[in-house]
Amino acid sequence: MKASHRRRAILVSAAPIFNRRGFAGTSIADILEATALEKGGLYNHFASKEELAVAAFEYAFDEVQAYFRDALARRPSGYARLVAFIDAFEHYCERPVVAGGCPLANAALEADDALPFLRERVQAAFRDLRDAIVRDVRRAIEKHELRGVDDAESLSDLLIASLEGALLLTRAMRSRSHVRRVAQSLRVMLSGMRA
Amino acid sequence: MKASHRRRAILVSAAPIFNRRGFAGTSIADILEATALEKGGLYNHFASKEELAVAAFEYAFDEVQAYFRDALARRPSGYARLVAFIDAFEHYCERPVVAGGCPLANAALEADDALPFLRERVQAAFRDLRDAIVRDVRRAIEKHELRGVDDAESLSDLLIASLEGALLLTRAMRSRSHVRRVAQSLRVMLSGMRA
């Protein structure tokens, strides 16, 4: 196996462990057990637990992005893609792309106070997600698909916040009903803004 | 100092540590350092790290509840209290009641996979919060302050999810602009439903 393949195989095993247990809750011993590697074998690829955690977050975020890219493929930009995003997020809550829930939400709340080395990466990931939504809101306004929206950033923040918050509720309450209700409310809201 | 006072003093020190670093990121040594206690002194009050973490979460949630109770005091039930809740939550994001952000959000995302002993308490805390909002939405409907709301639970979930999600965005992006925009969108939305 080439080094790059071995590196990727480590991340495939490590990402769900970090995502479920958090950075502080994951030990190098957990990773060695999951990858069946010796310490030296792991350190050939990653110099420290921090470096491995950042790479595992990047890998998890890439998987999340690929999931949404697939779900939104062939949808025209603008209104149709916003609705497709809501549908895809509802499904994403119910069946996480990486075991343990949303890596952005998990890493955001662990990194905010405690993990400076991860914070910037989490911030960049949220920025990417938000930029994509802002683009589709702007496109929907340009295409005259939405009316009465004078602030694309506000609508984008409301969409992302309510969906990430619905995921939080769903995981805390162990019931999918919360994300279903929130997604439905957002669909009704967007449809009410339909020009 | 009475035992109950000593116990409370430990929780006052321990709650922000757990809230900032998470359960897995907090060691008994951290707690001993913050409280200037010996191990035996701490274990007189709490039999284990798990027991201390649950009590620290309860203490933190009590503080959060007291904050919202104060903020909503003297507001008539129904519409006025829903708007006051949005205002109070915006402020709560900007100045957490317990250092480290929202203990409900933090504990929810750490406990969901990894901390079964805490999960039920987090679930009960979210249920309390949600029940209070559902009551005010129902009251607003009864008082004919809101029209076109046929599902009080959906509106309540949307309010809680978007505010908790705004807190997540605000902490991830290190900018208060997100919670401000979301709170403003919710105020506009409620005012649009005003009968």
Distance CA B161, CA B89 (A): 12
Cβ-based neighbour number of residue A5 at 10 Å: 9
Tokens representing A29 are 């011993």
What tens digit of pLDDT does each residue of B8-50 get?
999 999 999 999 999 999 999 999 999 999 999 999 999 999 9
CB contact under 8 A, A123 and B178: no
Phi, psi angles (nearest 5°) of residue A85: -65, -45
3-class secondary-structure state, position B95: coil
| Residues B123-155 as b or e (16 or more Cβ within 10 Å = b) | bebbeebbebbbebbbbbbeeebbeebeebebb
Task: Give DSSP secondary structure letters for B120-138.
Answer: HHHHHHHHHHHHHHHHHHH
Nearest to A115 by CA among B25, B175, B15, B60: B25
Both tokens of A134, joined, read 């802002």
Q: Domains in chain B, ordered, with CATH?
A: 56-193 (1.10.357.10)
Type of residue at B7: R
Q: Which residues of B touch A106 (CB under 8 A)?
A: 109
ipTM of the complex: 0.94
CA-based torsion, A97, A99, A102, A104: positive or negative: negative
> CB neighbours (10 Å) of residue B93?
24
φ, ψ of residue A176 to 5 degrees: the values are -75, -10
Closest CA to B169 of B114, B111, B123, B101: B101
Q: How many CA atoms lie within 13 A of B39 on its CB side?
A: 5
Instruction: Give the pair of three-digit tokens for residue B180.
Output: 């401000």
Contact A163, A169 (CB under 8 A): no
Across the interface, of A126, A165, A171, the residue whose CB is closest to B112 is A171
The model's pLDDT over A14-39, given as tens digits with 9 standing for 90+, comes to: 999 999 999 999 999 999 999 999 99
Partners of residue B109 in chain A, C-beta under 8 Å: 101, 105-106, 109-110, 168, 171
Number of residues written out for chain A: 195
- C-alpha span between A115 and A122 (Å, rounded): 10
Do residues A156 and B169 touch, judged by C-beta distance below 8 A? no
**Token pair in block for residue A91:** 């499904």
CB contact under 8 A, B161 and A162: yes
Calpha distance B132→B141 (Å, rounded): 15
Identity at B33, one-letter amino acid code = E
- Position A150 scores a pLDDT of 85
The alpha-helical segments, DSSP class H, found in chain B are: 3-21, 28-35, 39-43, 49-72, 79-94, 103-114, 116-142, 152-173, 177-193
Which of B25, B164, B182 is the closest to A114 by Cβ?
A: B25
d(CA A69, CA A63) in angstroms, rounded, equals: 10
- Helix/strand/coil for B194: strand
Question: Cβ contacts (< 8 Å) between A147 and chain B: which residues?
Answer: none
Compute the distance between CA of residue A68 and CA of residue A81 in angstroms, rounded to an integer: 11
Tokens of B54: 């649950």
Per-residue tens of pLDDT for chain A, all 195 residues: 787 899 999 999 999 999 999 999 999 999 999 999 999 999 999 999 999 999 999 999 999 999 999 999 999 999 999 999 999 999 999 999 999 999 999 999 999 988 999 999 999 999 999 999 999 999 999 999 999 898 999 999 999 999 999 999 999 999 999 999 999 999 999 999 997
pLDDT, position A195:
77
Helices and strands in chain A, H and E counts: 9, 0
- In DSSP terms, A146 is beta-bridged to A194
Q: How far is CA A142 from CA A81, A82, A192, in A?
A: 14, 14, 17
SS3 (DSSP) at B146: strand
B191 touches chain A (CB under 8 A): no
Chain B hits for A165, CB-CB cut-off 8 Å, are 160-166, 168
B57 Cα to chain A: minimum distance (Å): 14
Query: What pLDDT score does A107 carry?
Result: 96
